Amino acid sequence: MSKPLQARIAAYTAAKEARAQGIYPYFRPIESAQDTEVVIQGKRVLMFGSNSYLGLTNHPKIKEAAHKAVEKYGTGCAGSRFLNGTLDIHVELEDRIAAFTGKQAALIFSTGFQVNLGVMSSFTGRNDYLILDEYDHASIYDGTRLSFSRVIKYAHNDMADLARRLSVLPEESIKVIAVDGIFSMEGDIAKLPEIIAIADQFGATVVVDDAHSLGVIGVKGAGTASHFGVDDKVDIITGTFSKSLASLGGFVASDADTIDYLKHHARSLIFSASMTPASAASTLAALDIIETEPEHMENLWRNTRYAMNLLQEEGFDIGATESPILPIYVRDNAKTFAVTSLLQQQGVFVNPVVSPAVPSDASLLRFSLMATHTFGQIEEAVEKIARVFRQVGVLELKERIK
Ligand code: PMP
Cα 325 to middle of ligand 1, angstroms: 14
pLDDT tens for the chain, 402 residues long, are 999 999 999 999 999 999 999 999 999 999 999 999 999 999 999 999 999 999 999 999 999 999 999 999 999 999 999 999 999 999 999 999 999 999 999 999 999 999 999 999 999 999 999 999 999 999 999 999 999 999 999 999 999 999 999 999 999 999 999 999 999 999 999 999 999 999 999 999 999 999 999 999 999 999 999 999 999 999 999 999 999 999 999 999 999 999 999 999 999 999 999 999 999 999 999 999 999 999 999 999 999 999 999 999 999 999 999 999 999 999 999 999 999 999 999 999 999 999 888 887 899 999 999 999 999 999 999 999 999 999 998 865 555 444
Instruction: Find the catalytic residue in 59, 90, 227, 243.
Output: 243
| CA distances (Å), origin 140, targets 197, 227, 263 | 22, 22, 18
β-pair partners for 153: 132
Residue pair 239/107 in contact (Cβ under 8 Å)? The answer is: no
d(CA 248, CA 306): 29
**Which atom of ligand 1 lies at the shortest distance from residue 250's CA?**
15
Cα 17 to middle of ligand 1, angstroms: 28
Residue pair 184/137 in contact (Cβ under 8 Å)? The answer is: yes
Closest CA to 114 of 262, 246, 250: 250
Closest residue to atom 5 of ligand 1, CA basis: 184
pTM, full prediction? 0.96
Cα 115 to middle of ligand 1, angstroms: 9
Residue pair 36/375 in contact (Cβ under 8 Å)? The answer is: no
β-pair partners for 268: none
Ligand 1 pocket by C-beta < 6 Å: which residues? 111-113, 116, 137, 139, 180, 184, 209, 211-212, 240, 242, 250
Quick check: ipTM above 0.90? yes
212 is catalytic: yes
184 is catalytic: yes
Cα 21 to middle of ligand 1, angstroms: 30
**Which atom of ligand 1 lies at the shortest distance from residue 137's CA?**
3
244 is catalytic: no
